Amino acid sequence: MSQTFAAETASPPDPRRWLSLAILLIANFMNLIDVTIVNVALPSMRENLGATDSQIEWVVAAYVLAFALGLLPFGRLGDILGRTRMFLWGVGAFTAASALCGLAPNIEMLIAARILQGIGGAMMTPQVLAIATVTFPPNERGQAFSLFGLSAGLASVCGPILGGVLIDAQLFGLDWQPIFLVNIPIGIAAIVAGSMLIPRLPGHKDLSNDYVGIALFGLGIVALVFPIIEGRAFGWPAWSFAMMAAGVALLGVFTVWQKRRAQAGLPQLLNYVLLANRDYMFGAFVITVFASGIPGMFLVISLLLQSGFGFSPLHSGLTNTPFSIGVLIASVIAGRFGAHYLRSRLAMAGALLVIGIGWLHFVIAGAGDTIDSWSFLPPLLAAGVGLGTGFSSLFQLVLRNVPPRDAGAGSGALQAFQQVGGALGIALVGQIFFSQLAGNFAHGQAPNAAFADAAALALWYQVVAFGVVLAMAFLFKPSGRAPQGQGAPVVVEA
């Protein structure tokens, strides 16, 4: 493989590389914006489809969970079958699933389509940077990769606003459906242009995937998340706790399976050398906790503003925008620091998130019959700056003690841990919010007071989670020295 890579870098760069990059960016943008655009539409889906509390959680969690479970196996399949082919298949699957989402006649169909959409996203996402790495010569990669960061920031800013605009416009008499249907022409254009312009990168048929590992990891995570979301609706029966225990056991079996694969010299879904690296696994745990805080928070805020206080989807999206602007600002600034002051930056991120979300808690708790959207601006901006500061420093902290040979696998696995954390966060925050909301309504509270009280309580999860991250920032080893015998450390620039 090293000989192939040397030949690729020695050959003249593809003259179509910037056009192919534009296609990769468009597809990646479509995937990223879908994460934020859906939050604005949740109250409309809840009302129009008659969804239960747990079903509305699954609209978000199903996508995140499918995406998380697909990242590692589809990344490997791209190596086997060819990255361009897997990317185009992923865009096609994502586009078809978007059509199914927009045409879903009921909430069950929507959740199933969201699972397919997450699978499509997982098919294309691992291939994007891999294709760009091979397509661009070393002297142009920095400029090309910076555009991915810019597109991610723009997606986070545009998502809530675009979602509000599309829903408020009531295009063709439709309500929330256009947030998904808008992906269809974009996806088709990306497939047609990508087929013509993106270089065909050959696969490596001699490689193989760890299908037993995929099944064990997937079943273990689903067994943990499913009862957390559904347990309350069934009154927390014995099977819900048994299922969570089975999930932990399956993840234990997964670890043993990866060890046996490593001893036999066979490919693993998650390299066992990473599972055996205590520093890496500690960092993976911190990333899981860190990532669990945000998705559930915006599920709660969107329901609070629209269902509790009658905001329009556009008004709700604009109210959330300061957070995305804070993320974008911090991401740009963080890139200038490179690998310096990582622990201090993570600690500052945790502190900003605790302060910002704690502040937001008191804004919501103090709401009366109305709530001022301008009062959300300072706390959301502070929390957004914290999130943007934290992710870049956290990934670098975890990866700096990983040997260079395992850097790619380590980075990909961290993205999977990030998404798993998001799914767990949605489940836990949703459990707190909807349980309290049901109790408030049972006691006869008015909708605005019931939603405000439930949202304020749910935000304590984020305060505690980011407080844990703040404390753990000081537990990362200050040395960037790799474990003995495993090679030099790797530092990944933000």
Question: Do 165 and 284 sit in the same domain of this protein?
Answer: no
Question: Do 314 and 388 sit in the same domain of this protein?
Answer: yes
**Model pLDDT for residues 389-439, shown as the tens digit of each residue:** 887 788 888 877 777 666 666 777 888 888 888 888 888 999 999 999 999
Displacement of CA 358 from its chain's centroid (Å):
23
| Helix intervals (H) in 136-182 | 138-169, 178-181
Question: Do 194 and 287 sit in the same domain of this protein?
Answer: no
Residue 486: what pLDDT? Answer: 40
Question: Do 28 and 99 sit in the same domain of this protein?
Answer: yes
Of 190, 209, 228, at which residue does a domain stop?
209
- Answer whether residue 321 is part of any domain: yes
CA-based diameter of the chain, in Å?
72
Question: Do 386 and 470 sit in the same domain of this protein?
Answer: yes
Considering only CA atoms, give the Rg of the chain: 22
Low-confidence ranges of the chain (pLDDT < 50): 1-9, 480-494
Question: Do 377 and 483 sit in the same domain of this protein?
Answer: yes
Using DSSP, state whether 137 is helix, strand or coil: coil
Quote the domain boundaries for residue 327. Answer: 270-494
**CA–CA gap between residue 241 and residue 261 (Å, rounded):** 30
- Answer whether residue 250 is part of any domain: no
Q: How many residues does the chain have?
A: 494
Which residue in 127, 131, 135, 128 sits closest to 12, CA to CA? 135
- Answer whether residue 257 is part of any domain: no
CATH code of the domain in which 71 resides = 1.20.1250.20
Of 209, 231, 252, at which residue does a domain stop?
209
Question: Do 278 and 197 sit in the same domain of this protein?
Answer: no
Q: Take residue 330 and report the two structure tokens written for it.
A: 């911090």
**Model pLDDT for residues 2-47, shown as the tens digit of each residue:** 344 444 445 677 778 888 888 988 888 888 888 778 988 999 999 8
Which residue in 252, 315, 207, 274 sits closest to 417, CA to CA? 274
Question: Do 38 and 178 sit in the same domain of this protein?
Answer: yes
The count of domains in the chain is: 2
Using DSSP, state whether 370 is helix, strand or coil: coil
- Answer whether residue 249 is part of any domain: no
Question: Do 164 and 303 sit in the same domain of this protein?
Answer: no
Residue 395: what pLDDT? Answer: 81
Residue 144: what pLDDT? Answer: 74
Question: Do 203 and 303 sit in the same domain of this protein?
Answer: no
- Answer whether residue 220 is part of any domain: no
Give CA separation, 381 vs 323, 384, 425, in Å. 5, 5, 21
- Answer whether residue 221 is part of any domain: no
- Answer whether residue 227 is part of any domain: no
Question: Do 367 and 488 sit in the same domain of this protein?
Answer: yes
DSSP for 36-53, please give it: HHHHHHHHHHHHHTT--H
**CA–CA gap between residue 289 and residue 420 (Å, rounded):** 10
- Answer whether residue 226 is part of any domain: no
Question: Do 175 and 305 sit in the same domain of this protein?
Answer: no
Of 209, 227, 251, at which residue does a domain stop?
209
Which residue in 149, 225, 142, 214 sits closest to 423, CA to CA? 225
Contacts of 175 (CB under 8 A, 6+ apart): 44, 48, 167
